[in-house]
Amino acid sequence: MKINHLATEKRNKATLDIDECSSLEVVQKINKEDQMVPSAIQKVLPEIAAVVDQVIAAFRKGGRLIYTGAGTSGRLGILDASECPPTYGTPAEMVIGIIAGGDRAIHTAVEGAEDDKEAGRNDLKKLDLTKDDVVVAIAASGRTPYAIGALEYANEIGAVSAALVCSPDSEMSEVAQYTIAAVVGPEVVTGSTRMKAGTAQKLVLNMISTASMIGIGKVYSNLMVDVQPSNKKLVQRARNIVVEATGCSPEEAERALSDHNGYAKGAILQLLTGLSPSDTRALLETHNGMLKQALKANGRDNN
Protein backbone atom coordinates (compact mmCIF):
# COMPACT_ATOMS: atom_id res chain seq x y z
CA MET A 1 0.00 0.00 0.00
CA LYS A 2 1.35 3.41 -0.99
CA ILE A 3 0.12 6.36 1.07
CA ASN A 4 2.94 8.84 0.46
CA HIS A 5 0.88 10.68 -2.17
CA LEU A 6 -1.98 11.40 0.25
CA ALA A 7 -2.40 15.00 1.43
CA THR A 8 -2.88 13.72 4.96
CA GLU A 9 0.54 12.02 4.90
CA LYS A 10 2.63 14.94 3.64
CA ARG A 11 5.21 16.57 5.92
CA ASN A 12 4.40 20.05 7.15
CA LYS A 13 7.29 22.41 6.36
CA ALA A 14 6.15 24.81 9.07
CA THR A 15 6.75 22.27 11.82
CA LEU A 16 9.97 20.54 10.82
CA ASP A 17 11.67 21.91 13.95
CA ILE A 18 8.75 21.37 16.32
CA ASP A 19 10.73 18.89 18.42
CA GLU A 20 13.16 21.69 19.30
CA CYS A 21 10.50 24.21 20.33
CA SER A 22 9.40 25.30 23.78
CA SER A 23 5.94 24.30 24.94
CA LEU A 24 4.63 27.76 24.10
CA GLU A 25 6.14 27.61 20.61
CA VAL A 26 4.64 24.15 20.05
CA VAL A 27 1.12 25.24 20.93
CA GLN A 28 1.55 28.42 18.89
CA LYS A 29 2.41 26.33 15.84
CA ILE A 30 -0.56 24.03 16.46
CA ASN A 31 -2.86 27.02 16.85
CA LYS A 32 -1.61 28.61 13.63
CA GLU A 33 -2.25 25.40 11.70
CA ASP A 34 -5.71 24.99 13.26
CA GLN A 35 -6.68 28.38 11.88
CA MET A 36 -6.57 26.87 8.39
CA VAL A 37 -9.48 24.54 9.13
CA PRO A 38 -12.43 26.98 8.86
CA SER A 39 -11.23 28.33 5.51
CA ALA A 40 -10.95 24.79 4.15
CA ILE A 41 -14.53 24.11 5.22
CA GLN A 42 -15.77 27.38 3.76
CA LYS A 43 -14.74 26.11 0.32
CA VAL A 44 -17.05 23.09 0.57
CA LEU A 45 -20.17 24.67 2.10
CA PRO A 46 -22.26 23.98 -1.05
CA GLU A 47 -21.32 20.30 -0.85
CA ILE A 48 -22.22 20.19 2.85
CA ALA A 49 -25.58 21.83 2.12
CA ALA A 50 -26.29 19.28 -0.62
CA VAL A 51 -25.79 16.44 1.86
CA VAL A 52 -27.96 18.23 4.44
CA ASP A 53 -30.79 18.43 1.89
CA GLN A 54 -30.56 14.69 1.37
CA VAL A 55 -30.63 14.04 5.12
CA ILE A 56 -33.70 16.26 5.59
CA ALA A 57 -35.47 14.40 2.78
CA ALA A 58 -34.52 11.08 4.37
CA PHE A 59 -35.82 12.10 7.80
CA ARG A 60 -39.13 13.17 6.29
CA LYS A 61 -39.49 9.68 4.79
CA GLY A 62 -38.64 8.00 8.06
CA GLY A 63 -35.09 7.29 6.98
CA ARG A 64 -31.91 7.51 9.02
CA LEU A 65 -28.56 9.28 8.99
CA ILE A 66 -25.79 6.72 9.44
CA TYR A 67 -22.18 7.72 10.04
CA THR A 68 -19.49 5.11 9.46
CA GLY A 69 -15.73 5.19 9.74
CA ALA A 70 -12.62 3.80 11.39
CA GLY A 71 -10.54 5.14 14.26
CA THR A 72 -10.90 8.85 14.96
CA SER A 73 -13.32 9.24 12.06
CA GLY A 74 -15.61 6.56 13.42
CA ARG A 75 -15.46 7.96 16.94
CA LEU A 76 -16.41 11.44 15.71
CA GLY A 77 -19.44 10.01 13.92
CA ILE A 78 -20.53 8.22 17.09
CA LEU A 79 -20.05 11.41 19.10
CA ASP A 80 -22.24 13.44 16.76
CA ALA A 81 -24.93 10.76 16.65
CA SER A 82 -25.02 10.36 20.43
CA GLU A 83 -25.69 14.06 20.95
CA CYS A 84 -28.84 14.14 18.83
CA PRO A 85 -31.35 12.47 21.24
CA PRO A 86 -30.75 14.76 24.24
CA THR A 87 -30.42 17.91 22.14
CA TYR A 88 -33.24 17.35 19.67
CA GLY A 89 -35.42 14.67 21.22
CA THR A 90 -34.76 12.22 18.41
CA PRO A 91 -35.07 8.45 18.81
CA ALA A 92 -31.68 6.77 19.17
CA GLU A 93 -32.10 4.95 15.87
CA MET A 94 -32.59 8.13 13.82
CA VAL A 95 -28.91 9.13 13.75
CA ILE A 96 -26.47 6.25 14.16
CA GLY A 97 -22.69 6.05 14.34
CA ILE A 98 -20.81 2.84 13.63
CA ILE A 99 -17.08 2.19 13.83
CA ALA A 100 -14.77 -0.40 12.32
CA GLY A 101 -14.04 -3.00 14.97
CA GLY A 102 -17.29 -2.48 16.88
CA ASP A 103 -17.88 -0.93 20.29
CA ARG A 104 -14.45 -1.97 21.58
CA ALA A 105 -12.87 0.30 18.98
CA ILE A 106 -14.50 3.36 20.55
CA HIS A 107 -12.01 3.11 23.44
CA THR A 108 -9.20 0.97 22.06
CA ALA A 109 -7.57 0.70 18.66
CA VAL A 110 -8.58 -2.51 16.89
CA GLU A 111 -5.70 -3.34 14.59
CA GLY A 112 -6.61 -4.05 11.00
CA ALA A 113 -10.29 -3.20 11.38
CA GLU A 114 -10.12 -0.31 8.94
CA ASP A 115 -8.69 -2.61 6.24
CA ASP A 116 -11.71 -4.92 6.26
CA LYS A 117 -13.83 -3.77 3.33
CA GLU A 118 -16.38 -6.53 3.80
CA ALA A 119 -16.96 -5.46 7.41
CA GLY A 120 -17.99 -2.03 6.17
CA ARG A 121 -20.73 -3.71 4.16
CA ASN A 122 -21.72 -6.16 6.86
CA ASP A 123 -22.09 -3.51 9.57
CA LEU A 124 -24.65 -1.72 7.39
CA LYS A 125 -26.42 -4.98 6.64
CA LYS A 126 -26.82 -5.49 10.39
CA LEU A 127 -28.66 -2.16 10.52
CA ASP A 128 -31.03 -3.31 7.74
CA LEU A 129 -30.00 -0.39 5.54
CA THR A 130 -32.78 0.82 3.21
CA LYS A 131 -33.04 3.15 0.25
CA ASP A 132 -34.52 5.79 2.55
CA ASP A 133 -31.29 6.12 4.55
CA VAL A 134 -28.25 8.37 4.12
CA VAL A 135 -24.79 6.91 4.74
CA VAL A 136 -21.94 9.33 5.45
CA ALA A 137 -18.60 7.53 5.38
CA ILE A 138 -15.81 9.42 7.13
CA ALA A 139 -12.08 9.01 6.47
CA ALA A 140 -9.37 11.66 6.44
CA SER A 141 -7.34 9.81 3.81
CA GLY A 142 -10.34 9.08 1.60
CA ARG A 143 -9.09 5.55 0.99
CA THR A 144 -10.09 3.49 4.03
CA PRO A 145 -11.34 0.08 2.79
CA TYR A 146 -13.93 -0.21 5.59
CA ALA A 147 -15.49 3.11 4.53
CA ILE A 148 -15.35 2.22 0.83
CA GLY A 149 -17.15 -1.05 1.53
CA ALA A 150 -19.89 0.87 3.33
CA LEU A 151 -20.29 3.30 0.43
CA GLU A 152 -20.46 0.51 -2.12
CA TYR A 153 -23.15 -1.29 -0.16
CA ALA A 154 -25.15 1.94 0.26
CA ASN A 155 -25.09 2.41 -3.50
CA GLU A 156 -26.23 -1.16 -4.09
CA ILE A 157 -29.20 -0.72 -1.75
CA GLY A 158 -30.15 2.62 -3.29
CA ALA A 159 -29.41 4.68 -0.18
CA VAL A 160 -27.75 8.10 -0.47
CA SER A 161 -23.98 7.77 -0.09
CA ALA A 162 -21.69 10.61 0.95
CA ALA A 163 -17.97 10.77 1.72
CA LEU A 164 -16.41 13.15 4.23
CA VAL A 165 -12.68 13.23 3.49
CA CYS A 166 -9.66 15.50 3.86
CA SER A 167 -7.84 14.53 0.67
CA PRO A 168 -8.59 15.69 -2.88
CA ASP A 169 -9.44 13.22 -5.65
CA SER A 170 -9.84 10.34 -3.23
CA GLU A 171 -10.94 6.77 -3.85
CA MET A 172 -14.00 7.38 -1.70
CA SER A 173 -15.05 10.32 -3.86
CA GLU A 174 -15.15 7.97 -6.84
CA VAL A 175 -17.61 5.72 -5.04
CA ALA A 176 -19.82 8.20 -3.16
CA GLN A 177 -22.69 10.09 -4.74
CA TYR A 178 -21.70 13.18 -2.72
CA THR A 179 -18.24 14.18 -1.53
CA ILE A 180 -17.24 16.74 1.07
CA ALA A 181 -13.48 17.19 0.76
CA ALA A 182 -12.21 19.49 3.51
CA VAL A 183 -8.56 19.64 2.49
CA VAL A 184 -6.70 21.04 5.50
CA GLY A 185 -3.15 20.22 4.42
CA PRO A 186 -0.36 18.37 6.21
CA GLU A 187 -0.66 17.82 9.93
CA VAL A 188 1.57 19.37 12.59
CA VAL A 189 2.79 15.84 13.34
CA THR A 190 2.95 13.98 10.05
CA GLY A 191 -0.03 11.67 9.56
CA SER A 192 -1.70 12.53 12.89
CA THR A 193 -5.12 13.06 11.35
CA ARG A 194 -6.86 13.35 14.70
CA MET A 195 -5.63 16.95 14.58
CA LYS A 196 -6.59 19.30 11.71
CA ALA A 197 -8.43 16.60 9.79
CA GLY A 198 -10.31 15.50 12.90
CA THR A 199 -11.22 19.09 13.72
CA ALA A 200 -12.52 19.61 10.19
CA GLN A 201 -14.57 16.42 10.38
CA LYS A 202 -16.08 17.45 13.71
CA LEU A 203 -17.08 20.87 12.36
CA VAL A 204 -18.66 19.36 9.25
CA LEU A 205 -20.57 16.76 11.26
CA ASN A 206 -21.85 19.55 13.52
CA MET A 207 -23.16 21.28 10.41
CA ILE A 208 -24.79 18.19 8.92
CA SER A 209 -26.69 17.16 12.03
CA THR A 210 -27.58 20.68 13.20
CA ALA A 211 -28.75 21.95 9.81
CA SER A 212 -30.75 18.76 9.27
CA MET A 213 -32.48 19.09 12.64
CA ILE A 214 -33.31 22.71 11.89
CA GLY A 215 -34.73 21.57 8.56
CA ILE A 216 -37.23 19.22 10.21
CA GLY A 217 -38.41 21.72 12.81
CA LYS A 218 -36.33 20.75 15.82
CA VAL A 219 -35.35 24.40 16.29
CA TYR A 220 -37.62 27.44 16.76
CA SER A 221 -35.73 30.66 16.05
CA ASN A 222 -32.42 29.48 17.50
CA LEU A 223 -33.92 27.59 20.44
CA MET A 224 -33.66 23.79 20.83
CA VAL A 225 -37.35 23.32 21.52
CA ASP A 226 -37.21 19.51 21.42
CA VAL A 227 -34.58 19.29 24.15
CA GLN A 228 -35.03 16.32 26.45
CA PRO A 229 -34.99 17.50 30.11
CA SER A 230 -33.12 14.43 31.34
CA ASN A 231 -31.01 16.14 34.01
CA LYS A 232 -31.13 19.27 36.18
CA LYS A 233 -29.26 21.40 33.67
CA LEU A 234 -31.59 20.42 30.83
CA VAL A 235 -34.68 20.96 33.00
CA GLN A 236 -33.45 24.49 33.59
CA ARG A 237 -32.66 24.90 29.91
CA ALA A 238 -36.17 23.82 28.92
CA ARG A 239 -37.66 26.38 31.30
CA ASN A 240 -35.37 29.10 29.97
CA ILE A 241 -36.32 28.22 26.40
CA VAL A 242 -40.03 28.56 27.16
CA VAL A 243 -39.45 31.92 28.87
CA GLU A 244 -37.33 33.18 25.95
CA ALA A 245 -39.83 32.06 23.31
CA THR A 246 -42.96 33.38 25.01
CA GLY A 247 -41.96 36.15 27.42
CA CYS A 248 -43.77 34.37 30.23
CA SER A 249 -42.60 34.15 33.83
CA PRO A 250 -40.52 31.18 35.02
CA GLU A 251 -43.52 30.03 37.08
CA GLU A 252 -45.81 30.08 34.04
CA ALA A 253 -43.18 28.19 32.07
CA GLU A 254 -43.00 25.49 34.73
CA ARG A 255 -46.78 25.07 34.78
CA ALA A 256 -46.95 24.77 31.00
CA LEU A 257 -44.03 22.36 30.95
CA SER A 258 -45.82 20.26 33.55
CA ASP A 259 -48.82 20.02 31.19
CA HIS A 260 -46.52 18.54 28.54
CA ASN A 261 -44.22 16.31 30.60
CA GLY A 262 -41.36 18.79 30.29
CA TYR A 263 -41.71 19.18 26.51
CA ALA A 264 -40.71 22.76 25.69
CA LYS A 265 -42.29 22.85 22.24
CA GLY A 266 -45.73 21.95 23.57
CA ALA A 267 -45.42 24.42 26.43
CA ILE A 268 -44.49 27.24 24.03
CA LEU A 269 -47.38 26.52 21.69
CA GLN A 270 -49.84 26.35 24.57
CA LEU A 271 -48.68 29.65 26.06
CA LEU A 272 -48.67 31.49 22.74
CA THR A 273 -52.08 30.23 21.60
CA GLY A 274 -54.01 29.75 24.82
CA LEU A 275 -55.07 26.29 23.70
CA SER A 276 -55.69 23.44 26.10
CA PRO A 277 -52.91 20.86 26.50
CA SER A 278 -54.81 18.30 24.41
CA ASP A 279 -55.59 20.79 21.63
CA THR A 280 -51.97 21.93 21.67
CA ARG A 281 -50.75 18.39 21.16
CA ALA A 282 -53.26 17.84 18.36
CA LEU A 283 -52.17 21.02 16.58
CA LEU A 284 -48.52 20.04 16.80
CA GLU A 285 -49.29 16.58 15.49
CA THR A 286 -51.23 18.03 12.57
CA HIS A 287 -48.16 20.02 11.59
CA ASN A 288 -45.64 17.20 12.16
CA GLY A 289 -44.07 18.93 15.14
CA MET A 290 -43.25 22.09 13.17
CA LEU A 291 -43.85 24.76 15.80
CA LYS A 292 -43.69 27.76 13.49
CA GLN A 293 -46.18 26.18 11.08
CA ALA A 294 -48.52 25.34 13.96
CA LEU A 295 -48.38 28.93 15.21
CA LYS A 296 -49.05 30.34 11.77
CA ALA A 297 -51.99 27.99 11.32
CA ASN A 298 -53.39 29.35 14.58
CA GLY A 299 -52.89 32.91 13.38
CA ARG A 300 -49.92 33.55 15.65
CA ASP A 301 -46.16 33.68 15.35
CA ASN A 302 -44.28 35.43 18.10
CA ASN A 303 -40.90 34.91 16.42
Give the CATH number of the domain where residue 63 resides: 3.40.50.10490
Same domain flag for 199 and 272: no
Same domain flag for 28 and 125: yes
The verdict on residue 302 lying in a domain is: no
User: What is the pLDDT at residue 301?
Assistant: 61
- Residue 140 neighbours by CB under 8 Å, 6+ apart: 8, 72, 73, 165, 166, 167, 193, 197, 198, 201
Same domain flag for 210 and 236: no
User: What is the pLDDT at residue 110?
Assistant: 84
Instruction: Reply yes or no on whether the pLDDT at 123 is more than 80.
Output: yes
- pLDDT > 70: what percent of the chain? 97
The span from the CA of 296 to the CA of 98, in Å, is 39
Q: By mean pLDDT, which of 1-10, 71-80, 262-271 is the weakest?
A: 1-10
Looking at residues 173-198, what average pLDDT do you find?
Answer: 95
User: What is the pLDDT at residue 230?
Assistant: 86
Instruction: Reply yes or no on whether the pLDDT at 303 is more than 60.
Output: no
The verdict on residue 220 lying in a domain is: no
Number of independent structural domains in the chain: 2
Amino acid at 1: M
The verdict on residue 45 lying in a domain is: yes
211 touches 180 (CB < 8 A): no
For 79, the domain range is 7-215
The verdict on residue 222 lying in a domain is: no
**Among 183, 215, 247, residue at a domain's last position:** 215
Residues 26-62 have pLDDT tens digits of 999 999 999 999 999 999 999 999 999 999 999 999 9
Same domain flag for 196 and 244: no
Nearest to 99 by CA among 77, 126, 128: 77
Instruction: Reply yes or no on whether the pLDDT at 89 is more than 70.
Output: yes
The verdict on residue 188 lying in a domain is: yes
Same domain flag for 11 and 87: yes
Euclidean distance between the first and final Cα of the chain, in Å?
A: 56
Instruction: Reply yes or no on whether the pLDDT at 7 is more than 90.
Output: no
pLDDT band at 6 (very low <50, low <70, confident <90, very high): confident
**Among 181, 215, 249, residue at a domain's last position:** 215
Catalytic residues: 83, 114
Same domain flag for 209 and 272: no
Looking at residues 119-127, what average pLDDT do you find?
Answer: 97
Same domain flag for 179 and 239: no
130 touches 159 (CB < 8 A): yes
Same domain flag for 176 and 254: no
Give the CATH number of the domain where residue 261 resides: 1.10.8.1080
User: What is the pLDDT at residue 41?
Assistant: 98
- Mean pLDDT for the chain overall: 94
User: What is the pLDDT at residue 211?
Assistant: 98
Residues 200-249 have pLDDT tens digits of 999 999 999 999 999 999 999 999 999 988 899 999 999 999 999 999 99
277 touches 255 (CB < 8 A): no
Same domain flag for 81 and 55: yes
The verdict on residue 221 lying in a domain is: no
